[in-house]
Structure 1
Amino acid sequence: MTTSKIPAVLVLAGSRPGAPDPVADAEGVAHKALVEIAGRPMLALVVSALRDAGIERIAVSASEPQVRDLALRLGCEVLATGTGPSASVAIGLDALSAPLLVTTSDHALLKGEWVRDFLADTPEGSDVAVLLARREAIEAAMPGSRRTYLRFADGHWSGCNLFLLATSRAGLAIETWKMVEADRKRPWRIAARLGLGMLVSYALGRLTLAEAIGRLGRRIGVTASLVAARDGLAAVDVDKPADLVDARAIMDARGA
Structure 2
Amino acid sequence: MSASAGQGFSALILAGSRGGVDPVAAYAGVSHKALIELDGQTLLARVAKALREAGATQIAVSVSDDTVRAAATALDLTVLTAASGPSCSVRDGIETLGTPLLVTTADHALLRPEWITRFLADAPAHADVAALLARQDVIEAAAPGTRRTYLRFADGAWSGCNLFHFATPRSVAALDLWAQVEADRKRPWRIVRRLGIGTLVRYMSGRLTLVAALAHLGRLAGLHAAAVATPFGLAAVDVDKPADLDLVRDLIARP
**Smaller-chain TM-score bracket:** over 0.9
SS at structure 2 position matched to 1:56: strand
Query: Aligned ranges for residues 62-73 of structure 1 at < 5 Å?
Result: 62-73=63-74
Between 242-251 and 162-171, the greater mean CA deviation after superposition = 242-251
1:26 aligns with 2:19: no
Instruction: Name the SS for the 1:244 alignment partner.
Output: helix
What pairs up with 1:94-109 in 2 under 5 angstroms?
Answer: 94-109=95-110
Partner of 1:189: 190
- The residue matched to 1:219 in structure 2 has which SS? helix
Distance 2:57 2:252 in 1: 24
SS in 1 for 2:160: strand
Aligned counterpart, 1:216: 217
Supply the distance in 2 between the matched residues of 1:160 and 1:201 (Cα, whole angstroms). 25
In the alignment, the residues of structure 2 paired with residue 82 and residue 128 of structure 1 have an alpha-carbon distance, to the nearest angstrom, of 21
SS in 1 for 2:228: strand
Amino acid at match of 2:14: L
Distance 1:149 1:161 in 2: 13
Whichever residue aligns with residue 116 of structure 1, its letter is: T
Q: Larger deviation: 139-148 or 155-164? A: 139-148
- Mapped to 2, the partners of 1:74 and 1:112 lie a distance apart of 18
The 3 A distance-change label for structure 1 pair 217 and 87 is: same
Tell me which amino acid in the other structure corresponds to 1:9: A
Q: Given that residues 150 and 185 in structure 1 are in contact (C-alpha distance below 8 angstroms), is that contact kept between their aligned partners in structure 2? A: no
Q: Distance in 1 between matches of 2:39 and 2:9?
A: 29
Assess if the C-alpha contact under 8 Å between 1:5 and 1:99 holds in 2: no
Are the aligned partners of 1:62 and 1:79 in contact in 2 as well (CA < 8 Å)? yes
Once residues 134 and 44 of structure 2 are traced to their aligned partners in structure 1, the CA distance between those partners, rounded to angstroms, is 22
Q: 1:7 offset after TM fit, Å?
A: 3.0
Following TM superposition, where does structure 1 have runs of at least 4 consecutive aligned residues deviating by more than 2 angstroms?
2-7
Letter in structure 2 aligned against 1:211:
A
RMSD of the TM alignment (CA)? Answer: 1.0
Match of 2:124 in 1: 123
Matched length: 253
1:249 and 1:152 mapped to 2: Cα distance? 31
Normalised by the length of structure 2, the TM-score is 0.97
- Check if 1:134 corresponds to 2:135: yes
The residue aligned with 1:153 is 154
Whether the 8 Å CA contact 2:9–2:55 is kept in 1: the answer is no
Gaps of 5+ in 2: none
Query: Could you tell which deviates more after superposition, 173-182 or 2-11?
Result: 2-11
* 8 Å contact kept, 2:7–2:55: no
Q: Structure 1: give runs of 5+ residues left out of the alignment.
A: none
Aligned 8 A contact 1:8 1:56 in 2: yes
CA shift at 1:161, angstroms? Answer: 0.3
Distance 1:190 1:239 in 2: 21
Q: Map of 1:1-256 to 2, 5 A cutoff? A: 1=2, 2-4=4-6, 7-17=9-19, 19-253=20-254, 256=255
Counterpart-to-counterpart distance in 1, 2:97 and 2:220: 26
Task: Give the whole-Å Cα distance in 1 for the aligned partners of 2:117 and 2:9.
Answer: 14
Aligned partners of 1:181 and 1:115: how far apart in 2? 23
Q: Report how far residue 6 of structure 1 moved.
A: 5.2
